[in-house]
Amino acid sequence: MGLPELRFDVNLSILFTELPLLERPAAAAAAGFTAVELWWPWPGSPTPEKHELDALRRALTEAGTRLVGLNFYAGRLPGPDRGALSLPGPESDRFRANLDVAADFAASVGCTALNALYGNRVQGVEARTQDALALENLVRAARAADRVGAVLLIEALNAVESPLYPVTGAAKAVELVEAVNAASGLGNARFLMDLYHLAMGGEDLHAVIDACAAVTGHVQIADAPGRGAPGSGVLDFPDLLGHLGKAGYGGWVGLEYAAPGADAFGWLQDFQRAAG
């Protein structure tokens, strides 16, 4: 029996950003991709106008690209925010207002993975207060995702770049996945394994892959340090991607790195040729 075949998609929130949002799906298709993912495309609005949602849906459809991953509203990304769901007050309200909007949009384009970023610690608010709110909102998110046949993704960031983000490290993220599944009773929460963040956090990536592949719903990659294309840093991606396959992961691998168009995908062509 051969290894599971990894499938690659392009994150249009970090690649092709020299183009307007609605032109990026076609650019991804021209580069040879049939699948894309996105952070929430309207960071200033959890509930954009219908015509904005329709325009993005049309751009994806006309390009022949399937959306395979979408973030729920997470505040200003890129920017100072790292999610909204654990922040008491208006940001939590915005997250809740976004749940059905994001889930319905995902369903309309065949997207079955929705990512919920936890949010930073807030000065003057007890951690246990934020954590209780987070669990409540993650259960809401799990229900919204389940309604449209999607999984809920929970991601660990790295403390170097996100020192106020409490979900750092694979073990913490998987613990949270298990807590959400227990609280919701749905079992549709999964780990988003971002190899860049885990590497920046000093984790043993092979050990994480071995321990977490079975509960992983999506993988994202960038080289470290620098968050550039594979080959720009120190990570051995042919080895890591091969290890993912050996561990049984056969899902999507999101290319979530910054690189100019001419240099963005040469490594992938080499990898696919070598994998034969």
Instruction: Give the active site residues.
Output: 155, 256
Q: What is the Cα–Cα distance from 141 to 155, expressed in whole angstroms?
A: 14
The CA distances from residue 230 to 23, 57, 70, 213, in Å, are 25, 30, 23, 21
Question: 109: burial class by Cβ within 10 Å (0-12, 13-18, 19+)?
Answer: middle
Round to whole Å and give the CA distance between 127 and 132: 9
What's the angle, vertex CA 137, arms to CA 136 and CA 141, rounded to 5? 125
Q: How far apart are CA 274 and CA 276, in angstroms?
A: 5
Distance CA(235)–CA(152), nearest Å, equals 28
Of 121, 195, 189, the closest CA to residue 150 belongs to 189
- Residue matched to tokens 């997470």: 74
Question: Do 160 and 149 contact (CB within 8 A), yes or no?
Answer: no
- How long a stretch of residues is the chain? 276
Residue whose tokens read 């691998």: 253
Please state, in angstroms and rounded to a whole number, the distance separating the CA atoms of residues 190 and 180. Answer: 10
> Euclidean distance between the first and final Cα of the chain, in Å?
16
